[in-house]
Structure 1
């Protein structure tokens, strides 16, 4: 005779109070003291003594500095206590991403870090989580999205293209395929574009969330762009070439060779597709005036991977394109296809005022770091 065991009654969990810590944030709070001992201070929100600043004030939690919730469960900002600089912390699950740390450290090594063609994010240090061998923390300089603030001129975008192409070419030259190099994984060292700072999560706002953060331009203060997130990346030896890997779908789900087959493919042409499709969707389709790069991008996103150019060819062809662009074109304003007429008029006036000043001061039209 069998006996049945009654199922445990489900206990209804209380709803999370708006603005309170979510589950991923609790992990950071629980490791705050260890991170502080390691030299990195988290914001007030993640300290034991935190009391929400909006309580009893009538303010909304989302209008307060300590009420903003990170959008990424594995990333958090911190302050390096030794010099006060803003850094980014990334929690890496080593069993899931066994190659990420080694590849990140390869491009941060003394032998490669000083090469100006190296556009891989620099690793300041790796911290082993003391209570869980499966997790480590990558400490990196804080980066901003590559297109925030918005590009002002074609020269600024040309600088971005040069650096993005050069960075992926450098990775491929060292036999590393990124395998997820769409726009989500290209960042810039744009902290200096905001002289009065910005909130590290809601990055268009002032540090105290009291208004919009004011910024300067890339033309006046050039930035360097970086490839980040090597969780899906792989390094090969010369004997492995050409490598063959089963499809692995990153942020861009449109890769032609992944649509109808699970057959292993060479990941290097897939990288070329990712970068080309980022330009196609983010610039050619979204903004006016990028006809000059359409032929190159069309080749980079061909359905047949074997017909795509290598990154060496991409860099060479784009250098020819760049030399064909006039100073007038390079200093011209970038206009969004969905830009309202009144906003376009206002931005055009501001742009011309800046443009004349830059020309008089002989500031280069293509701002390279």
Structure 2
């Protein structure tokens, strides 16, 4: 039994924007010199928890998984939904208002809910306790990194492990994947440029700490509709601290740089720079903004030769030089 999907439908009509691998299966990059001898595929595979089993544990930590009653309050009466097929008339499970109600638009390892103390909306993500994602999120969401203003990771309100089940939970604030509010009201160019800067700044921050995201795309960017943007989905991400010349093989993220077609190890940080350049173009296209000067930033990021691409921090410096003082006051308006 499912609830209506809130997931954003993602168009693939990108015109002349560089190609992606949206039609391919989500396959993480293969092991690199930074990986240990453990079974990487096993420990980093997507978790598929039986959510009712963890309901009481989450409640003891101050959280509630969404029930049928909660979803009725959110969406009104429940019946057949032709657009999503989420509900089917006569489904007996819908009669039990205390039954858990997954979101049909989310994968099995995600579940929506609330924090009991203040009814704050949250999203739970189940991962394997020894996974790269859990390790990286834990690093990014704890001191000192959590206080760094360059860190634009989705705010994490709790994370914990259940060792006996080899599972861990990341509890995140519920932000929106719809970067344009339902009103569709346009925003000013300053808001738009501020949003782009946050996108670039976070990747520069990750790279400063030797972390490669490896799946940068608009699908993995959320907003709180209050001028803040954040990255999610670190399933493919890797921490290369202590690795002098990191390489990834058989890379299959969302945005594929030219070098990914070669059967060689490729620089993960230059992969991120390429994907970030594509993200900027897609953001401009989706909002209908054409800022010619931004091409001085984007074009070098999309060089076929990864050695000719700037670092993420270099791209950020160029971006600040191009935009000048237009961002000095920031922007509190919602959405790009």
Q: Normalising to structure 2: TM-score of the pair?
A: 0.70
Shift of 1:92: 0.9
Shift of 1:285: 7.4
Shift of 1:84: 1.8
2:122–2:173 CA contact under 8 A, matched in 1:
yes
1:146–1:225 CA contact under 8 A, matched in 2:
no
Shift of 1:161: 1.0
Other structure's SS at 2:277 match: helix
Other structure's SS at 1:31 match: helix
Other structure's SS at 1:136 match: strand
Q: 1:230 aligns with which of 222, 229, 234?
A: 234
Q: Which residue of 1 aligns with 2:207?
A: 172
1:117–1:167 CA contact under 8 A, matched in 2:
yes
1:244–1:264 CA contact under 8 A, matched in 2:
yes
Superposition pairs of residues 36-185 of structure 1, within 5 angstroms: 36-45=59-68, 59-61=79-81, 69-94=104-129, 98-129=131-162, 133-145=165-177, 147-149=179-181, 152-185=187-220
C-alpha change, 1:303 and 1:146, in structure 2 (3 Å) is farther
Structure 1's unaligned 5+ residue stretches are 1-16, 191-221, 331-363
Shift of 1:170: 0.7
Q: Which residue of 1 aligns with 2:254?
A: 251
C-alpha change, 1:170 and 1:67, in structure 2 (3 Å) is closer
C-alpha change, 1:228 and 1:365, in structure 2 (3 Å) is closer
Shift of 1:46: 8.6
Q: How many residues align?
A: 271
> Does residue 319 of the first structure (1) align with residue 323 of the second (2)?
no
Superposition pairs of residues 344-363 of structure 1, within 5 angstroms: none
1:177–1:235 CA contact under 8 A, matched in 2:
yes
C-alpha change, 1:276 and 1:77, in structure 2 (3 Å) is same
CA distance in 2, matches of 1:72, 1:35: 19
Q: 1:32 aligns with which of 55, 79, 93?
A: 55
Other structure's SS at 1:157 match: helix
Shift of 1:267: 0.3
Other structure's SS at 2:247 match: coil
Shift of 1:324: 7.4
Q: Which residue of 1 aligns with 2:284?
A: 283
C-alpha change, 1:42 and 1:285, in structure 2 (3 Å) is closer
Deviations 1:60-81 (A, max 9, x none): 3569897962333322211111
Deviations 1:342-369 (A, max 9, x none): xxxxxxxxxxxxxxxxxxxxxx574499
CA distance in 2, matches of 1:107, 1:61: 39
Shift of 1:283: 1.4
C-alpha root-mean-square deviation of aligned residues, in Å? 3.5
CA distance in 1, matches of 2:317, 2:220: 23
Other structure's SS at 2:324 match: helix
Q: Which residue of 2 aligns with 1:241?
A: 244
Bigger Rg, which one: 1
CA distance in 1, matches of 2:330, 2:250: 40
CA distance in 1, matches of 2:49, 2:209: 39
Shift of 1:30: 4.5
Other structure's SS at 2:144 match: helix
C-alpha change, 1:32 and 1:46, in structure 2 (3 Å) is farther
2:2–2:104 CA contact under 8 A, matched in 1:
no
Structure 2's unaligned 5+ residue stretches are 6-46, 88-93, 95-100
Shift of 1:41: 0.9
Most deviating of 285-294 and 134-143: 285-294
Q: Which residue of 2 aligns with 1:217?
A: none
